[in-house]
Amino acid sequence: MVLLIFAFYKIWKKMKHTLEEKKEAFARLLQVMDELREKCPWDSKQTFDSLRTLTIEEVYELSSAISEKDFEDVKKELGDVLLHIVFYSLMGSEKQLFDVKDVCDAICEKLIYRHPHIFSDVKVKDSTEVEQNWEQLKLKEKGGNKRVLQGVPAALPALVKAYRIQDKARSAGFDWERREQVWEKVQEEINEFQYEVDQMNTDKMEAEFGDLFFSLVNAARLYGINPENALERTNKKFISRFNYLEDKVTKSGRQLSSLSLEKMDVIWEEAKKEI
3-state secondary structure of 125: coil
Average pLDDT score over residue span 21-38: 96
* Side chain identity at residue 88, one-letter code: Y
Please give the pLDDT value at position 6: 56
Rounded percentage of the chain residues whose pLDDT exceeds 90 = 66
The CA dihedral of 66, 68, 73, 79, to the nearest 10 degrees, is -20
Average pLDDT score over residue span 115-125: 85
- 152: which DSSP letter? S
Rounded to 5°, the CA angle 239-210-233 comes to: 25
Please give the pLDDT value at position 124: 80
User: Model-level pTM?
Assistant: 0.65
Please give the pLDDT value at position 172: 81
Average pLDDT score over residue span 55-81: 93
Q: Which of 129-133, 194-198, 265-269 has the lowest mean pLDDT?
A: 129-133
- 253: which DSSP letter? T
Same fold, 17-101 and 150-225: yes
SS3 sequence, 141-184?
HCCCCCCHHHHCCCCCCHHHHHHHHHHHHHHCCCCCCCHHHHHH
3-state secondary structure of 69: coil
- 256: which DSSP letter? G
Residue boundaries of the structural domains of the chain: 17-101, 150-225, 229-274
Please give the pLDDT value at position 125: 81
CATH hierarchy code of domain 17-101 = 1.10.287.1080
CA atoms within 13 A on the CB side of 103: 15
- Residue range 159-191, pLDDT digits in tens: 999 999 999 898 888 999 999 999 999 999 999
Average pLDDT score over residue span 128-148: 72
Residues 81 and 58: beta-carbon distance below 8 Å: yes
Mean pLDDT over each residue of the chain, to the nearest integer:
89
Residue 1 binned pLDDT confidence (cut-offs 50, 70, 90):
very low
Burial of 193 (0-12, 13-18, 19+ CB in 10 A): buried
- Please tell me the distance from the alpha carbon of residue 269 to that of residue 263, in angstroms, as a whole number: 10
| Domain 150-225 homologous superfamily, CATH | MazG-like (1.10.287.1080)
